[in-house]
Amino acid sequence: MKQLTSLISAVMIFAAVTFSGCIHAAADSAAAAPPPAAASSKYQKISAEILSAFQNEDYSQLKKLLPESLAKDFSENVFKQSCRQLQQSLGKMTKFTFVTELEAPIFKTLVYKAQFERKSRDGKTIKQEALFKAMFSEQNRKTLVLSFGFL
């Protein structure tokens, strides 16, 4: 059963990498959330650190933010592949901006706008934007990253 679970997790991670993100399902996400103001600040800080990890291509920065099970599945090689895919399709991330927190009873979902730059074939700078989503839950008074990725 554990091997089947590992196989399913590996397939989910592979599929998520194709879309430059990852996903992790929480076992029990009905724990009480902290007060809204503190929560938003905490979730924004973690989201910004995740985006910075992608911007700086720093897996060690990302790994420390992830639950052990997600860090195990979202390996350094998977991270590097995701960074390569982002650069090939969008360019180098130059900045990111918080857009909104989606309202939901159990999960916290934050949306950011990330700006990328790359050179065109004729040498002109092309700027592009993409949305980034990070989803969180509180379990046993601990904030867990459930999923994140570029849309």
List pLDDT tens digits, range 1-21: 333 333 333 333 333 333 344
At the topology level, CATH places domain 33-150 in Nuclear Transport Factor 2; Chain: A, (3.10.450)
Query: What integer pLDDT is reported at residue 69 of this predicted model?
Result: 83
Distance CA 91, CA 26 (A): 32
Give pLDDT < 50 ranges for the chain.
1-36
The residue ranges of every structural domain in the chain are: 33-150
Query: What integer pLDDT is reported at residue 116 of this predicted model?
Result: 97
Distance CA 70, CA 125 (A): 36
Give yes or no for a contact between 76 and 59, defined as CB atoms under 8 angstroms apart: yes
What global pTM score does this model have? 0.71
Using the Cα atoms of residue 25, residue 28, residue 29 and residue 34 in order, give the sign of their dihedral.
negative
Query: What integer pLDDT is reported at residue 145 of this predicted model?
Result: 93
Using a pLDDT cut of 90, give the percent of the chain over it: 60
